[in-house]
Chain A
Amino acid sequence: MTTPIEFDVNLLELSHVAKRFGGLSALSDISLHIRRGDIYGLIGPNGAGKTTLFNILTGLYQADSGRFTFNNTEYSGRCKPHVLAQAGIARTFQNIRLFANMTALENVMVGRHLRTSSGIWGALTRNATARAEEHAIVQHARALLSYVGINRPHQTLAKNLSYGEQRRLEIARALATDPKLLALDEPAAGMNATETESLKELLLSIRASGITVLLIEHDVKFILGLCDRVAVLDYGKKIAEDVPEKIRCNPAVITAYLGTEPIIPAQAGIQS
C-alpha cells in the first residue's frame, strides 16, 4: 500500500481518480498536482464534486480507481481517515463539525491526540512523562488558539463561540495535528468582508509557516486573489487547472459558471 517513490516538488498527486455513487459519476478521471508550499484552490459550481474529492483525500470515501500519492507515499488502497491524518492531511468541514460540548481548548487538544502517546497507564498514574505531555498539549493548544485569533476565554464551550470563531477553531484543531497539507472546505462561507479579509491573512501566514493549503471555495474573487494555482471542476470533471490570471479568462470556466450565451436573448428581455 505504501510504496515510496523518489522525492519531488509535488506534495499531493492524483492521477485518474474516479468515484461513482451508484449510477452517478461524482468524479471521473481527475488528475491533480499540488506543489509543496502552494495555496491551491478548487472551485466549481454546486455539485461539481469538490467535497467528494476532499472526502477521498481525507479517507472518508475510497476512490473507485486511480492513484493517490501524498508526500512520496501511495495511499491508493483502502485508507482510514486516521491513517491519512497521521500522514499529514488535516481538514475542516463545510458544515462546521466541532466537538460542540467540549471547550475551545479541548477541541484543539483533541487535535494533538495523534502526535502524543500516553495511554491508560499514563492517565491513571499521571507519571512524569504523562504530566509533561499533557502540559505540552495544553501549551500547544493555547498557542494555536491565539494564533488563529480566538481571544475569548479558552474554556468557552465550542458551541457558544461565534460563527467566525467556530470556523477559526476548526482551523486551529486541524493545525494541531501538525499537517503537511491543510484542506479547508469553504472556510469563508457565511463570513462578512472583514472576517474574510482576516481569514485571508491567516491562510497566508499558515502558508508562510511551510504548510501547503488546499482550499474549496465558492467565492471566486477570494480564491483568485489568494491561490497560487486553481483547478476548476464541473460535473465531476476537471475543466481547467492553471494560475488564477489564466483561469479568469478561460472560456470553459466562464461557461461553467455563467452558462452559455442564451440563444434568443430578445425574448428573455421581453419577459422580464
Chain B
Amino acid sequence: MRNVLKHLSSKDRRGAWIAFVVLAIVLLALPFFTDALFGRGWVRIMDFALLYIMLALGLNIVVGYAGLLDLGYIAFFAVGAYCYALLGSPQLGLHLPFWVVLPLGALLACIFGVLLGAPTLRLRGDYLAIVTLGFGEIIRIFLNNLNAPINITNGPQGISMIDPIRFGEFSLGNTHELFGLTFPSVHLHYYLFLLFTLLVIFISLRLEDSRIGRAWMAIREDEVAAEAMGINTRNIKLLAFAMGATFGGLAGGLFAGFQGFVSPESFSLTESITVLCMVVLGGMGNINGVLLGGILLVVLPEALRHGSGPAQQLLFGKTLIDPESLRMLLFGLALITVMLWRPSGLWPSNQRRRELVAENDTAQL
C-alpha cells in the first residue's frame, strides 16, 4: 500500500484514501442494507460467500501461484471443520474455547497439507489432480465411516450442537445490542468472517510479492528451470500446500462454529470443484479475480434461484421451469460463456501486470 501510494500525486493519494474509507463504510454497512432490502437470508449467503472467498484464496496459493492442480482441496476445509466440531461439541464432551480450537484446526489442516503434498511432489498436471482428488475423497469417506467400532465422527449423521464462536461471555450465536444497534447472529459472523478474509487477503498479497511468491510462480511457469536456478522445489511446493491448507482449515473451523452442524455431505467433490471454479473463473493467481469469482459463484446461483421464478411469472404469467433446475442450467451456461470469451478468467493476473508496466515506464521516463 505504501509503495502504491508513493507513486501517486498528493491529489491522487487523497482520492485513494477517500476510496478506501468509502469501501470500509460500505463493507461495514453492507449486512444492514442487505437485511433491510433483501432479507436476512441474504446476509447468511454473504457469510457463506466470505467463507468461500477464504477457501478460494487458499486454493489460489496452490493452484494460482504454484500451479499445482488440487482437486481435493475441500478436505482441508473438512479437517478444520471437524477439528472444531469434535473439540467444541457434546460429541466428545470437550468444550475447548474458540481461540484454541480454530488455530488448532488450521494447524491440523496444515499438517494434512504437508502429508498430502509429500507423496505428490513428483507428480505433475493430470496425475497430481487425480491423486489430490483421491485424497479429498479419502478424508470424506473416513469421516463418513469413523462411527464404528468407536464412534468418533458420528458417521453420516454428522456432529450437531457445536458450540457457537464465543469470545469470553460474548457469543456470536446470540443477538446483541451494541451502540444502540441490534446485531443479529448472522451480522456478527459477517464481521468476524470479513476480518479473517481481510487477513487472508493481506497474507496472500504479501506472499505474492516476495521471494517465496516468486519461487512459487517460477515453479508454475517451468519447474525444471526453477530447479536449475537453485530453488528447492520440494520445500517450496510443500510450503504452498501447507499455506493453502492452513487457510482451508481456518475457513473450516469458522464454518463449523457458524453452522453449528457438520456432516461429511458438506465436503463432497462438488465443493472442491466449486472452489476451483471460483479461482479459475475469476483469474488464477490474481487476488482481485479470485474475490470476484468467489462472490459471483455464491451470489449468482442464489440470485438465479430466487429470481428465476418471479421472472418467469412476469414474462409468461406462470412458472414454466422449476427454478431449482433452471438455476443449475443457467449457472452452467454462464460458466461456459465465460470460459469461451475469457479463457484466462474474468480478471487475469497478466492484465494487472500490464497495468504495472505502463505505470512503471512512465515513472522511469
Contacts and interface: CB of A to CB of B under 8 A. Distances in A.
Interface of A: 58-60, 80-82, 85-86, 90-91, 93, 97-103, 106, 109-111, 113-114, 116, 118-120, 122-124, 126, 130, 133-134, 137, 153-157, 173-174, 176-177
A177 B225 CA distance: 13
A95 to B, nearest CB: 11
A106 B356 CA distance: 13
A99 B222 contact: yes
A71 B83 CA distance: 52
A111 B222 CA distance: 13
Given A106-B214, A155-B353, A155-B357, A123 B207 contact: yes
Nearest to B210: A123
Interface in B187-239: 203, 206-207, 210-215, 217-218, 221-222, 224-233, 239
Given A86-B230, A110-B226, A124-B203, A157 B214 contact: no
B217 A82 contact: no
B169 interface: no
Contacts of B9: none
Contacts of A111: 229-230
Contact of B229 (A110, A124, A126): A110
A124 B206 contact: yes
Interface in B227-280: 227-233, 239, 243
B224 A60 contact: yes
Nearest to A178: B230
Contact of B350 (A93, A126, A157): A157
A126 B73 CA distance: 29
B364 interface: yes
Contact of B353 (A103, A114, A119, A123): A103
Interface residues of B, number: 33
B227 A80 contact: yes
B334 to A, nearest CB: 26
B360 A82 contact: no
A101 B361 CA distance: 18
A177 B230 contact: yes
A82 B227 CA distance: 6
A195 to B, nearest CB: 22
B229 A157 contact: no
A96 B232 CA distance: 21
A155 B214 contact: no
Contact of B210 (A98, A122, A176): A122
B225 A99 contact: yes
Given A82-B233, A137-B211, A155 B227 contact: no
Contacts of B215: 110, 113
A130 B233 CA distance: 21
Contacts of B212: 119-120, 123
* Listed residue (A86, A91, A100, A155) with the most chain B CB atoms within 10 angstroms of its CB: A155
Interface string B325-365: 00000000000000000000000011001001100110010
Contact of A99 (B203, B217, B230, B232): B217
Given A123-B206, A155-B353, A155-B360, A97 B214 contact: no
B228 A81 contact: yes
B221 A82 contact: no
Interface string B143-176: 0000000000000000000000000000000000
Nearest to A133: B211
Q: Which 7 A-B pairs have the closest CB atoms?
A: A114-B230, A85-B230, A123-B210, A99-B221, A97-B225, A155-B357, A81-B227
Contacts of A133: 211
Contact of A114 (B225, B229, B233): B229
Contact of B231 (A59, A82, A122): A82
B267 to A, nearest CB: 27
A102 B221 contact: yes
Given A153-B364, A176-B229, A177-B229, 19 more contacts: A60-B228, A85-B230, A97-B222, A99-B218, A101-B349, A103-B353, A109-B214, A110-B226, A114-B229, A116-B211, A119-B212, A123-B210, A123-B211, A123-B213, A124-B206, A134-B210, A153-B357, A154-B360, A155-B360
23 contacts: A81-B227, A82-B233, A85-B229, A90-B230, A97-B222, A99-B221, A99-B225, A100-B222, A102-B221, A110-B226, A111-B230, A113-B214, A116-B211, A120-B239, A124-B203, A133-B211, A137-B211, A153-B361, A153-B364, A155-B356, A156-B357, A176-B229, A177-B229
A119 B360 CA distance: 27
A170 to B, nearest CB: 9
A19 B172 CA distance: 66
Contacts of B227: 59-60, 80-82
Nearest to B218: A110
Contacts of A156: 357
